[in-house]
Chains A and B, each alone.
Chain A
Amino acid sequence: MRDFTEIWSYLAQGPLLWLTATLAAYAIGNACFQAAGRRPFVNPVLIAVALLAGLLWLTATPYPVYFEGAQFVHFLLGPATVALALPLWDNLGHVRRAALPLLAALLAGSTVAVVSALALAVGFGIEGEVLASLAPKSATAPVALGISASLGGSPTLTAVLVILTGIVGAICTTPLLNALGIRDWRARGFATGVAAHGIGTARAFQVHPTAGAFAGLGMGLNAVLTAFLAPLVLRLFQ
């Protein structure tokens, strides 16, 4: 076994091993997601995170060592955020045709997301780093991580909270909006994108193409608004 131990200690030092593990874990998660008929509660990111967390624990690997390899994937969050300009551009026609309803929905959805999360969290005695990490939870992950870091939150905790928010939104949006009797696909999609970012948007595309396009628009606009809103609202609760 000595040989294996030597190979392991060599590989465990470089970025190759954990970069490969990150892609492999995501590939497994994505395969599960496809096999389950793309149901929102079988989330590929959660599966990948659980697999990697188990692997780190089994091999007694500290997170910073893992991140040495995973940082190449993590770095792409920045360019991915910039790339959100494309779906926004493609949907500018929608914006012009329904500008006022969109503006009202964006302000209402975004404000309720941040204020209700922080007010409830304070009620449960959550404060400090965890509270700051909650503030941007409805924004799309690359943006939320940036907001969290600038507010004194923990980007890694925010990542998990953002993903869970998306899953909750994706599972609940259709029954909730049916119960409320809202049938306009634009309203349904846009509100889902504002509150539940990319995971909610993926769900909206499954339900109806118009809902999907508006969800993508809601996600993009909420990313910008949350960046301004989260610091202001957080100050009220600190």
Chain B
Amino acid sequence: MIPALLTLLAAQLAGETLTRLTGLPLPGPVAGMLILLAGFALWRPLVEVVRPLATTILGNLSLLFVPAGTGVVGHLDKIAAHGLGLAVVLVVSTLAAIAAGAQAFAAVAKLLGTEPET
């Protein structure tokens, strides 16, 4: 577990450092994810070092949103003020994004003549 934890933290640290050095508009952990992906490609055994811990963390991912989500107590006034607007935005834009993504995939797959997996 320690090598796995060390790998994740080191990749995040490298990502944080890289984004600050270069001024990339990317959160440090996302850069860390790309760095780890590059690490996997360079040294395959790293995948199995990270797998058990990464699977555990990702399996309980939604727990990690709870502290930030509880911060909603500080925004009840804004949510009340924009309640209807926010509700419409969330529903319409999420449905539009799903429809656009799925139709773009299907259209390009059809254009290329690839077999759909149904």
Using a CB–CB distance below 8 Å, which chain A residues touch chain B? 22-23, 25-26, 44-46, 48-49, 52-53, 56-57, 63, 66-67, 70-71, 73-74, 76-89, 98, 100-102, 104-113, 116-117, 120-121, 124-126, 129-130, 134, 137-138, 140-143, 145-147, 150, 154-165, 168-169, 172-173, 176-177, 180, 182-188, 190-192, 194-196, 198-199, 210, 218, 220, 223-224, 227-228, 231
Contact = CB atoms under 8 A, between A and B. Distances in A.
B68 A150 contact: no
Nearest to A117: B93
Contacts of A82: 8, 11-12, 15, 29, 32-33, 36
B89 A45 contact: no
A198 B62 contact: yes
A125 B98 CA distance: 25
A228 to B, nearest CB: 6
Contacts of A56: 70, 73
B29 A81 contact: yes
Interface residues of B, number: 74
Interface of B: 5, 8-9, 11-12, 15, 25-30, 32-34, 36-37, 40, 47, 50-51, 53-55, 57-58, 61-75, 78-79, 82, 84-86, 88-109, 112, 114, 116-118
Contact of B96 (A77, A112, A124): A112
A162 B109 contact: no
Main secondary structure of the interface of A (DSSP, over half): helix
A57 B11 CA distance: 39
A83 B93 contact: no
Given A80-B57, A80-B58, A83-B58, A101 B66 contact: no
Given A63-B74, A71-B67, A125-B85, A165 B94 contact: yes
B65 A130 contact: no
Nearest to B70: A52
5 contacts: A56-B73, A79-B57, A85-B50, A184-B109, A194-B97
Contacts of B57: 76, 79-80, 83
Contacts of A142: 29, 61, 64
A53 B100 CA distance: 36
B75 to A, nearest CB: 5
